[in-house]
Amino acid sequence: MPDPLKLLPNLRRGVLAFRDTPGRAGRVVRLEHVREVLVAGDLHGNLENFRRLLVTADLARNPERHLVLQEVVHGTFTYPTGGDRSHQLLDLAVTLKMRYPRQVHFLLGNHELSQWTRRRIAKGDADLNEEFNQGVRTAYGDHADEILAVYDQVFAVAPLLLLTPNRVCLAHSAPNGNKLDAFSLAALEQDPLPESELLPGGSAHSLVWGRDTREENIAAFLEKVEADWLLSGHIPCEDGWERANSRQIILDTLGHPAAACLFPTDQPTTLDDLASRVFLL
């Protein structure tokens, strides 16, 4: 476990790196000077799958490759004395952003949003927010509150949506049909993001919580964000990934099999082409 006194400066530098990401407008990033993107689905604290992603990404030797991570907190990996260990993956993701500020992106998911806004999220009888807090206290003791406060700063600047030059949208999910009329890309580009956008009915909340994969809904969402294709997470996939419709692929990188997609961004693409570039870790 890292020394919290050494971890804190790295986390704070990571916060600045998120804020200074090229192409950033509020919580939207339009990727620039990028040749290809490696995007993962939900990770939920799975350090082994994260390690495999890093090996594939090989960012140091591929300076025009970008790595997109999503939903790293709240998992089943726990400390013997209690508490969720997924904060370890958050530490690594933010530190990686600090090391490769242009190439690394962390998409906020519904679990990070719930942790940040203190809106209870549960699995069975377990309060996942409190399990996460307990894990941080187990790991960092007297420095836990300070580290949790910096995590909030990370959640406050991490992007919600990325757009590639070849019109692929990367987001945790898409709003349900009954929320889509109220959804606004311009709302997500505000800095800071108004609190109302984080609450049920707001654009950020509906973006990360939606599960409506109907063809017509995803087509309408993509028109709103000026993209043709959607790569998302949020929905578990038995085979690690699935085509949800003719415009969307869902990636799941939590368990085994775990899927990711490495695709070029400097040329036009299709869903068939994106699907052909999905691979299992």
Number of other CB atoms surrounding residue 67 within 10 Å: 25
Q: Above 80 in pLDDT, residue 234? A: yes
Helix (H, G, I), strand (E, B) or coil at 37: strand
Q: How many Cα atoms sit within 13 Å of 263 on the Cβ side?
A: 29
pLDDT bin (cut points 50, 70, 90) of residue 196 is very high
| Terminal Cα distance for the chain, rounded | 25
Report whether CATH 3.40.50.720 matches the domain 4-280. no
| Segment 12-51, tens digit of pLDDT | 999 999 999 999 999 999 998 899 999 999 999 999 999 9
What pLDDT, on a 0 to 100 scale, did the predictor assign at position 122? 80
The chain-wide mean pLDDT, for the chain, equals 96
Place of tokens 């836990």: 144
Strands (E), the chain: 24-25, 28-30, 36-42, 65-70, 104-107, 122-123, 126-127, 161-163, 168-171, 229-232, 241-245, 248-251, 259-264, 278-280
Q: pLDDT band for 2, please (50, 70, 90 cuts).
A: confident
Centre a 10 Å sphere on the Cβ of residue 178 and count the other Cβ atoms it contains: 11
pLDDT of residue 32: 86
Average pLDDT over residues 224-241: 97
What is the three-class DSSP state of 260? strand
Does the pLDDT value for residue 1 go beyond 80? no
Q: Express the helix, strand and coil content of the chain in percent, nearest 5 each.
A: 40, 20, 40
Q: State pTM to two decimals.
A: 0.96
